[in-house]
Amino acid sequence: MNEEEPVRWILLTCLAFSACTAPQAEEAALDAGPPKGPPARVDLPPIVKLEGTLPPETHSDGVLRIDGLFARREKHIDQKIMVRGFLVGRYECPKDAKICERPHVWLADSPAGGDKRLMLVGIDERIVEALVDGQQYVVTGKFARKSMDGFVMSAGLLIYEQIEGLELPPEKPGKKRGR
Establish if 83 belongs to a structural domain: yes
pLDDT of res. 8: 77
Establish if 34 belongs to a structural domain: no
Give the separation between CA 94 and CA 63, rounded to whole angstroms.
35
Task: Name the nearest CA neighbour of 108 among 161, 69, 81.
Answer: 69
pLDDT of res. 7: 73
Give the separation between CA 117 and CA 70, rounded to whole angstroms.
9
The mean pLDDT value for 63-91 works out to 95
Total domains present in the chain? 1
Give the separation between CA 72 and CA 81, rounded to whole angstroms.
13
Establish if 125 belongs to a structural domain: yes
Establish if 155 belongs to a structural domain: yes
Give the separation between CA 107 and CA 8, rounded to whole angstroms.
89
Task: Name the nearest CA neighbour of 122 among 166, 160, 86.
Answer: 160
Range of the domain at 128: 54-163
Establish if 1 belongs to a structural domain: no
Mean pLDDT of all residues in the chain?
84
Establish if 101 belongs to a structural domain: yes
CA angle 12, 14, 15 (to 5 degrees): 65
Tell me the per-residue pLDDT of 124-139, one tens digit each, with 9 for 90 and over.
999 999 999 999 999 9
Instruction: Give the residue, 39 or 154, on which the prediction is more confident.
Output: 154
Establish if 158 belongs to a structural domain: yes
SS3 content of the chain, % helix, strand, coil (to 5): 25, 30, 45
Q: 74: helix, coil or strand?
A: helix
Tell me the per-residue pLDDT of 9-52, one tens digit each, with 9 for 90 and over.
777 776 666 666 665 555 555 556 666 778 888 888 888 776 66
Band of residue 53 on the pLDDT scale cut at 50, 70, 90: confident
pTM listed for this prediction: 0.67
CA atoms within 13 A on the CB side of 66: 27
Band of residue 145 on the pLDDT scale cut at 50, 70, 90: very high
pLDDT of res. 168: 80
Establish if 25 belongs to a structural domain: no
The CATH number given to whatever domain includes residue 113 is 2.40.50.140
Tell me the per-residue pLDDT of 114-124, one tens digit each, with 9 for 90 and over.
889 999 999 99
pLDDT of res. 179: 43
